[in-house]
Amino acid sequence: MPTVAGVDSSTQSCKVVVCDADTGEVLHRGRATHPEGTEVAPEAWWRALLEAGNGLLEHVDAVAVAGQQHGLVALDAAGSPVREALLWNDTRSAQAAADLVDELGGPEKWAEAVGTVPVAAITVAKLRWLAEHEPHHADRTDRVLLPHDWLTWQLCGGPGTGAEPVTDRGDASGTGYWSPAEGAYRRDLLALAFGGRTPELPRVLGPAEAAGRTPYGALVAAGTGDNMGAALGLGIQPGDVVISLGTSGTAFALAEHPVGDPAGAVAGFADATGRYLPLVCTLNAARVLSSTARMLGIALDDLGPLARAADSGAGGLVLLPYLGGERTPNLPEAAGSLMGMRKANMHPPNFARAAVEGMLCNMADALDRLRAQDVEARRVLIIGGAAKAPVVGEIAAEIFGTPVTVPEPEEYVALGAARQAAWALAGTPEPPHWPLAAARQIPAPADGAAGRRIREAYAHARSMVYG
């Protein structure tokens, strides 16, 4: 029985699943934590991968990595990091992003060139920040990789072994210097961002192409970005929209053609199958709930039942959940705000409910942005850590005004990586069919008035604070 491993190297942790290559049945699991912060030594990801793998990777037939997108791994000529990697949620590059947008001639030019308008999260903006603020590190940078690229390279042996650094079109599409429409790097944009420097970039592999082999002989697949991995793990089809509530909140869908949003809200990414993955990303999702639970002095698992004890609308409390700045809307310096406080509504259940509603109103705005790009939303699937609380799916159906599907909690990013590994191993035109786990179906309310009122209150509060 051939087996494959999928690695989810996310912001907070590394998860590994080992699966039957034919059926997708999960046979083994592992997990290890990553350091806190918005800049991390890449070696920490490798140590976490080995800990989470716990010897499992020595016995599989193939492996693939799905990693957090956009992180800047700058390497010197020997393949060593010149500094700690800057992660996607590091917002110090906000001004650099704004400058780049202006220098190319506006957001429309960027959307046309690479499908994505730079914001602080995007790799191209981090390169500009590095060039301006740490030119000594920029001068030493010989090669630029993304987190998943770097880990894939380590699996194949790393520097000094003859292994070639590679990436895939899904993760490359999040850099701001690779065009999904053209299927090619825009080295002119790389030079624009990096003060004329043009470091080496990884070769972009096809969806089922192999990167190499591990020292133990396992085939190493191309790997991809975490959102692309989740889409592959869920097996989404046209008409499906996924709302992923992890450290970040993302809304994405499968598309047959490239998408470019001049407003910059929708990133026109590629996916891991040869298609496209228009995506809206927010900085604030599951941590809105964990931070609220901490402030209330309760366990995270107790937040859902507490929120359910409050009425729809949280008694008039509205939480703008921009706890770490925000990416969509582009408010990198924003802070969260609790609006509508009165003596009568200052109770823990209302605060808990306002946190869930605020997080989901932000995602409902993201869903609207996708629809504005002609993305069809026949079915909404909710995944991620925050989706484990039943109340989240219930309130989502109310706020989105659509039926909601909540698949059984699973490591869908890691599963997607494992499915990609099985695809590379099989060498077939399409990935193997793995059945989706059982799912909870939540119908939309017959009367959507309550959800509309929640969204109207949220929009009003945001306009009061941010215009």
* Residue pLDDT, tens place only, 332-342: 889 999 999 99
d(CA 123, CA 119): 9
Q: What pLDDT does residue 437 have?
A: 76
Least confident of 132-146, 158-172, 237-251: 237-251
Q: Which residues pair with 184 in a beta bridge?
A: 179
Q: What pLDDT does residue 96 have?
A: 98
> Does residue 230 form part of some domain?
no
Binding positions for substrate are: 69-70
Q: Is the confidence at residue 327, as pLDDT, over 90? A: no
Q: What pLDDT does residue 193 have?
A: 98
Characterize the bridge pairing of strands 178-179 and 184-185: antiparallel
Average pLDDT taken over every residue of the chain: 96
Rounded to 5°, angle at Cα 226 from 94 and 197 = 45
Contact 259, 268 (CB under 8 A): yes
Cα-based torsion angle of the residue sequence 295, 300, 304, 305 in order, rounded to the nearest 10 degrees: -90
Q: Is the confidence at residue 331, as pLDDT, over 80? A: yes
Q: Of 232, 99, 122, 228, whose CA–CA distance to 175 is shortest?
A: 122
Q: What is the pLDDT of residues 262-296, one digit of tens each?
A: 988 999 999 999 999 999 999 999 999 999 999 99
Domain count across the chain: 2
- Give the pTM: 0.91
> Does residue 413 form part of some domain?
no
| More confidently predicted of 1 and 303 | 303
Looking at the fold, whether 158 and 261 belong to one and the same domain comes out as no
Looking at the fold, whether 215 and 285 belong to one and the same domain comes out as no
Looking at the fold, whether 52 and 177 belong to one and the same domain comes out as yes
| CA end-to-end distance (rounded Å), the chain | 59
Looking at the fold, whether 351 and 456 belong to one and the same domain comes out as yes
CATH number of the domain encompassing residue 44: 3.30.420.40
> Does residue 148 form part of some domain?
yes
Q: What pLDDT does residue 378 have?
A: 85
Characterize the bridge pairing of strands 166-168 and 203-205: parallel
Tell me the catalytic residues.
226
Looking at the fold, whether 175 and 103 belong to one and the same domain comes out as yes
Query: Interhelix angle for 390-400 vs 348-372, to 10°?
Result: 50
- Reported as a pLDDT band with limits 50, 70 and 90, residue 416 is very high
> Does residue 418 form part of some domain?
no
Q: Is the confidence at residue 144, as pLDDT, over 80? A: yes
d(CA 34, CA 45): 7
Least confident of 55-59, 216-220, 301-305: 55-59
- Domain C-terminal end among 166, 201, 222: 222
Q: What pLDDT does residue 330 have?
A: 87
Q: Is the confidence at residue 105, as pLDDT, over 90? A: yes
Q: What pLDDT does residue 415 have?
A: 97
Looking at the fold, whether 104 and 198 belong to one and the same domain comes out as yes
- Reported as a pLDDT band with limits 50, 70 and 90, residue 66 is very high
Q: What is the pLDDT of residues 160-216, one digit of tens each?
A: 999 999 999 999 999 999 999 999 999 999 999 999 999 999 999 999 999 999 999
Range(s) of the domain holding residue 295: 235-402+437-466
Binding positions are: 69-70
Looking at the fold, whether 452 and 345 belong to one and the same domain comes out as yes
d(CA 74, CA 396): 40
Looking at the fold, whether 393 and 245 belong to one and the same domain comes out as yes
The full 3-state SS of the chain, as one line of letters, equals: CCEEEEEEECCCEEEEEEEECCCCCEEEEEEEECCCCCEECHHHHHHHHHHHHCCHHHCCCEEEEEECCCCEEEECCCCCECCCEECCCCHHHHHHHHHHHHHHCCHHHHHHHHCCCCCCCCHHHHHHHHHHHCHHHHHHCCEEECHHHHHHHHHCCCCCCCCCCEEEHHHHCCCCCEECCCCEECHHHHHHHCCCCCCECCEEECCCCEEEECCCCCEEECCEEHHHHHHHHHCCCCCEEEEEECCCEEEEECECCCCCCCCCCCEEEECCCCCEEEEEEECCCHHHHHHHHHHHCCCHHHHHHHHHCCCCCHHHCEEECCECEECCCCECCCCCEEECCCHHHCCHHHHHHHHHHHHHHHHHHHHHHHHHCCCCCCEEEEECHHHHCHHHHHHHHHHHCCCEEEECCCCHHHHHHHHHHHHHHHCCCCCCCCCCCCEEEECCCCCCHHHHHHHHHHHHHHHHHHC
Contact 177, 187 (CB under 8 A): yes
Looking at the fold, whether 172 and 289 belong to one and the same domain comes out as no
Q: What is the pLDDT of residues 108-139, one digit of tens each?
A: 999 999 999 999 999 999 999 999 999 999 99
Q: What pLDDT does residue 47 have?
A: 98
Alpha-carbon separation of residue 194 from 31, 78, 137 (angstroms): 36, 20, 11
Q: What pLDDT does residue 436 have?
A: 82
Contact 339, 357 (CB under 8 A): no
Cα-based torsion angle of the residue sequence 139, 142, 146, 152 in order, rounded to the nearest 10 degrees: -150
d(CA 366, CA 320): 14
Structure tokens at 59: 């016995």
> Does residue 372 form part of some domain?
yes
> Does residue 253 form part of some domain?
yes
Looking at the fold, whether 205 and 310 belong to one and the same domain comes out as no
d(CA 223, CA 52): 17
> Does residue 75 form part of some domain?
yes
> Does residue 426 form part of some domain?
no
Looking at the fold, whether 276 and 196 belong to one and the same domain comes out as no
- Reported as a pLDDT band with limits 50, 70 and 90, residue 33 is very high
d(CA 248, CA 53): 25
Q: What is the pLDDT of residues 344-402, one digit of tens each?
A: 999 999 999 999 999 999 999 999 999 999 998 888 999 998 999 999 999 999 999 99
Looking at the fold, whether 116 and 246 belong to one and the same domain comes out as no
Contact 381, 252 (CB under 8 A): no
